[in-house]
Every structure is written in C-alpha cells, then in structure tokens.
Structure 1
Amino acid sequence: MDKEHIYFENYADTWDRDRKENPAKLQFLLKLAKIRAGASVLDAGCGTGVLLPYISRAVGKGGTVTGLDYSRQMLDKARKKFSDLPGLSLVEGDVLKYDLPEQAYDAVVCLNFYPHISSRSRDFVKKMRRSLKDGGSLIVMHDMGRQQVNRIHDDRADRRLLPPADMLAADLVGGGFTLSAAVDWDDLYFVSVTKADELSYDPYGRGGASAPAGSSHRSHTQKKAVVNRLARVEGHLEAIKRMVEDERDCSDVLVQLAAVDSAVVSVSKVILKDHIDHCLADAVRGNDLESVEKLKKAISIFVK
C-alpha cells in the first residue's frame, strides 16, 4: 500500500466533513455530462460516493451505477450512505489494475480524480476506452477551478498538474475520442469526450474508399484544432447562460460575449486557412471548375 493509498484510508472518516459538497454545482456538472436514463455508468475513483446519488437519479431505475475505488474505508462510507440506491454496486480496486469488462459502460465519470492518475494518463485513457461501449463518454470533471486543483496537488512533484481543458481534450482526442464539451472556469472544470468507432474517421463511410469523382468534399486537415476551438465557444456559451440564470451583472455577460466573438474569429481563421490551402488548392489542381466557383462563393460570403 503506497503513501497515497494510506492517506485516503486514514482520511475516510473526516472526508465528507472537510470536503463539503456543493449540490448545485454537482447538479450542473451532471447536466453537462448528459447521462441518459437507463445508462450504465462507472464512477472511477468514487471515494465516499459524493457523486453516486446524482448519477443514480440521472440513469433512473433502468440504469446501473458502479463505484470503483481502491480505498476500502472510503467505500465503506459510500456503502453506509447509499446502499439503498437502485442498480448500485461498489467495487474495491485500483482503476489502473482492476480487470474492467470491455464495452460495458455508456459513460465513465471521474470527479476530482484525474490528478491521481495523470502520471499514467495514457494507460488510463486506453483502459477506459476499452471499457466503454461505442459512442460512450469519458468525463473528467472537478467541482473547483483548475488553478485550485493544481494548488492542492502542488507538492506532488512526481505528477503532471491538471492541464487546461483544451489541452486535455486534445490528448483524449489523440487517444481515440471525439470532443463533446470542454469547460475551464474559475470554479469548475469539465471535459467530455465520446469514444470514436472505427469508421468515424472515414468521411464517406465506405471503409476507406476514395471520394466520388467530381465531389467537392475535402476532409479538414485541422479537424482537431477546429473541434478544440469549438469546444471553447461552447464553454463560453454555457458560461453566459449560467450568468443570465444567476442574474449576474451585465458587464460580466458582455465580457463573456466578447470571449465568444474572439473564439468564433479564432476558429473561423483556422477553417478559412484550411479552406484556401487545401480545399481550393485541390480543386484548382484537379481542374474542378464547379468546385472552385462554389469555394470562391463560400469565401466571399464568409468575408462579408
């Protein structure tokens, strides 16, 4: 048993007292997670089970929730609090070593857990991907901001700190996922990615067949950059919605709107450059005059 394991075993009795939950924030995170009724969900690193009742309500009676943690004392606390939740099972085991079933879960949720496995993040991502069904979601979230998370773990020299949401999203996309959402605010952190199936990278759905003759379709060489920037736009829009609901000062809302405008301009520049460097250039080289005209018209509309 390593030092961290011993720490959690010893801290279990006072964990809930010292780490008071914020129901409104947890409900908001679960809203972002978009867990559907009837889903099968793994709560990786569930601890004393703070998130279990929220997930249970989301999946309903037809769903299942598995809480996995390597601290027996933490699990005992979770069991005492939530043993009556329908469809709940609690499992003792190290998430990196435990033999998880393949393609078993619709979602894997990690609340306040990622820094504890960040030094072996590639192993973790591969394992979670295997355990997810096609189209399943891997969700990394914290009920506090990234800077606060990093301050908590700043004495862990052997670990890489929690990265900005867009950087983590890029790593996960590189691990065989597509980005669903990324939010990196002062008071919370959320990244959700979806397991990509083997055909998701085939733009024509033909198992690698070439594009039809005369087609003006060109795949985007900067897809990852575009998706990451769009996630930022989504994050800013969620922030604006939250500010309006909380009746925040108009000046705060306007600042966020300016951030949306900046993010849209950023993604537009990436797409426009890709459009000119590849789509238009390919059409000219192929003497595809019809596509050239369509592409020129699209650029003209965009510039206006």
Structure 2
Amino acid sequence: MLACGTMGSAVLSGILDSLADSTSDTSVPVPARFLACVKRAESAKRISSAYGGKVEVFLHQHANAVKQADVVILGSKPQLCEDILSSAGMKDALKGKLLISVLAGTTIKQIRTIVPDSFVIRAMPNTPCKIRQGMTVIAFPTPSSPESSTSSLESQLVPSDSVRPAVHWIFSKLGRALFLEEKHLDACTALSGSGPAFACVMLEAMTDGGVMMGLPFAVAQELAAQTMQGAARMVLDGNHPAQIRNSVSTPGGCTIGGLLVMEDGKIRSTIARSIQEATNIASSLGKK
C-alpha cells in the first residue's frame, strides 16, 4: 500500500480478514507479505497497532518498500500523486511492477506520464471494503486508448489470463468487483465511492424520524440500518426497486403517504443531482 490512509486501511483489513477465512478461494497466488508506506509516525503507529505483525510498516521509505513488492496499490490523495511517484528512486522501483491506482479523478494516462515503465490500472473501491461488503470498479487501459502502449513491458502484463484474475481476486475479497471502461470511473466514484455518505444521510434522517415518533435512538438506528441493508439485498438478488416499493404501497396506506411527502421534497432529483455534482467534482480532482 503506497500511502495507507482510510482507503488503504480498508483494503488491507478486507484482504487480511479474507485470508483468515478458511473458505477463502485460493485459486490464484495469494500475497505472502503486506507492506504499508506512510509519511507520519502517527500513521505508522496506527497501522502497527491495528494489524500487528501482519503488515510491515515503512515510514519515509516508500521506494524501498516498492522495490520489495510485486503489486503496488497507490492510495494517496489525488493531489499528492505526482509528488509520491516522482520521489527519489520511485520510478526505478516501480519499473515492471503492477501499479493499481485507487485515486479519484486521476487517469491512467496521467499516471503513466510519471511512471511510463509500470503497468497501470485503476480501481475504485469504497469504505465498506473494510468489512468485506465493498463495491469496486476496475478499469484496464484498452488497446485503442491513447494511454495504452505497445511496449514489450505492457504486452507482457496485459494478458487477461494472468493479470485480470489476480486483480479481481484482490478486490473480490473485499465485496463485489466488476470491470468497466475507464470513462465510467468518475460516475462510479460518485455513486459507490461517495455513496456510503449519501446512504448514511438517508439513514440518519430515517433514524431522526423514528426518534421524533418516540423510538429510542439505538432502536430507531438499528431499524433504519437493517431496513436499508435488507432492501439493498433484495435488489442485489434480482428484485427491481420499483417492485419492492409497489409491494409495500397499499392503497390508502402509510407507505404511500410517506412517499408522497418525499416526492414533495423532490428527493429523487436531489439525490440524482448529488451524484451528478459528485461526478463533476471527481473528474476535476486529478487536474491541476
């Protein structure tokens, strides 16, 4: 983990927990060592405390750690990308390595201009990866895209029978993972990356409503959280959201009354516009 903040810690937690699971799939080679690069002593202490001897912590020794790794996950803030990848010894340390960027708004092309001898792909996980309930979207450079290269290095790393299963293994251990074209990643950043925050605003509002009507806070929060989780699981199992909504909305009932109040507040357009705005901001994060 090259920079191990919130997202890096979530990825590490999910993978380490999956390896401790006796039912974990080991059809691809699994990592034998985990290295975390940090620049603050407080971060080093936090990671050492959280993972003990399972993760080796490198403080101010980024290039040294990268030299020892086969797969490198870049988890810094987008604005720190160039500083980290341009630091002393980093370009040589990354030569021939698989670099997975989880940076919002920073394209494969931008990263490859800094480290042209690395095979770069992008992944957009979210924080529920920490409890192995995450959603990750993965993007590979396509042969027709300008960021693709015909160099012998990249032709060595591109084959789907070697790289894709390994990358999918990493992120499928953290929840669901799927491949999409890179052009969709800004929208994915907004929808699933920022999505937990949006969902929690809704959860808090539902909890407040329960408290307003006399429920203890802890009870209201548990009811709201489990209800959201259950509804989401029904959708993932193949039920259309409208079907679920209609099945609960009996004529003259309390559900339809509540839904009409939500529509009065323009909840659909507000949430959809939130995704639109977050997407626009995500697309600008990697730009100077």
TM-score (norm 1): 0.36
Relative to total residues, which structure has the larger helix share, 1 or 2?
2
More strand by share: 1
Higher normalized contact order (CA 8 Å, seq sep 6+, divided by chain length): 2
TM-score between both structures, scaled by the size of structure 2:
0.37
